[in-house]
């Protein structure tokens, strides 16, 4: 089995600000876009938040890339290009789990940090045309709109977002810096794609993540410690 740490939502490069935590609930803001979308921030109930988070630089009527899309206990996530090639080369597919993380601002202090905010257990990995028969979609998924790379793929399955900013979902170590994460001790042995250099592993439970990159994959097989950790994280998201 594989666990994918998947970077999504606002950051300093896409959106220009961290996503907010509101009344203890992390709210991942989808990145802005000018094409291949039929969804605005206002349509998602995020109009006021995006204007406040960006100090008016991004308006509520601006189009956004709603991906991953969470609907009725399911998650639909699209990927293509080099990032999808990486997922394919790593063997990611049915039975694997995506843990989505992003950049957030602490509600009390404003401290920027990375945290996990959602998950997807993959039941299907297919071409976007497979979504045509789904009756749960209330808006078009962006990976079904316009032209995409030939390897355009959607992953679908059980999924959800966190209702609380649990401390165990935070990745950045207390006090920072931003890219220094606290990670489970089994991860160093299992390995994480894009993090092969030994100097990135600062301690048994510390990792300096790469500055960019979307999909970080660890093949944990049947490692009980890893599976228990993943189930704990999913349980916290669902709680």
Task: State the pLDDT at residue 129.
Answer: 87
Distance, CA of 206 to CA of 229 (rounded, Å): 16
The structural domain count of the chain equals 1
Q: What pTM does this model have?
A: 0.97
Residue 98 pLDDT greater than 80, yes or no? yes
Residue 135 pLDDT level (bands cut at 50, 70, 90) = confident
Question: Which domain does 122 fall in, by range?
Answer: 2-238
Going from the C-alpha of 198 to that of each of 60, 172, 180, 188, 204, the distances in angstroms are 44, 19, 14, 9, 11
Residue 133 pLDDT greater than 90, yes or no? no
Q: Is 181 exposed, middle or buried (0-12, 13-18, 19+ CB in 10 A)?
A: buried
Q: Which is more confident, 131 or 91? A: 91
Residue 232 pLDDT greater than 80, yes or no? yes
Average pLDDT, the chain: 96
Give me 146's structure tokens.
């316009």
Residue 41 pLDDT greater than 90, yes or no? yes
């Amino acid at each position: 089995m594989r666990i994918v740490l998947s970077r999504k939502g606002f950051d300093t490069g896409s959106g220009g600000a961290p996503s907010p935590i509101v009344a203890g609930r992390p709210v991942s803001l989808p990145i802005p876009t000018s094409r291949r979308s039929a969804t605005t921030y206002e349509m998602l109930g995020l109009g006021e938040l995006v204007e406040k988070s960006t100090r008016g630089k991004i308006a509520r009527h601006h189009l956004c890339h709603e991906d991953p899309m969470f609907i009725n206990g399911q998650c639909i996530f699209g990927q293509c290009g080099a990032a999808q090639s990486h997922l394919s080369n790593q063997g990611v597919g049915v039975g694997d789990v995506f843990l989505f993380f992003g950049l957030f601002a602490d509600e009390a202090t404003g401290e920027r940090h990375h945290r996990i905010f959602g998950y997807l257990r993959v039941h299907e990995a297919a071409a976007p045309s497979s979504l045509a028969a789904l009756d749960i979609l209330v808006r078009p998924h962006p990976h079904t709109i316009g032209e995409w790379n030939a390897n355009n793929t959607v992953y679908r399955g059980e999924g959800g977002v966190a209702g609380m900013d649990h401390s165990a979902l935070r990745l950045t170590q207390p006090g920072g810096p931003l890219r220094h994460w606290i990670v489970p001790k089994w991860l160093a042995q299992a390995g994480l794609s894009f993090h092969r250099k030994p100097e990135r592993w600062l301690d048994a439970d510390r990792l300096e993540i790469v500055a960019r990159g979307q999909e970080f994959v660890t093949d944990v097989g049947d490692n009980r410690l890893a599976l228990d950790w993943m189930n704990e994280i999913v349980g916290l998201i669902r709680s």
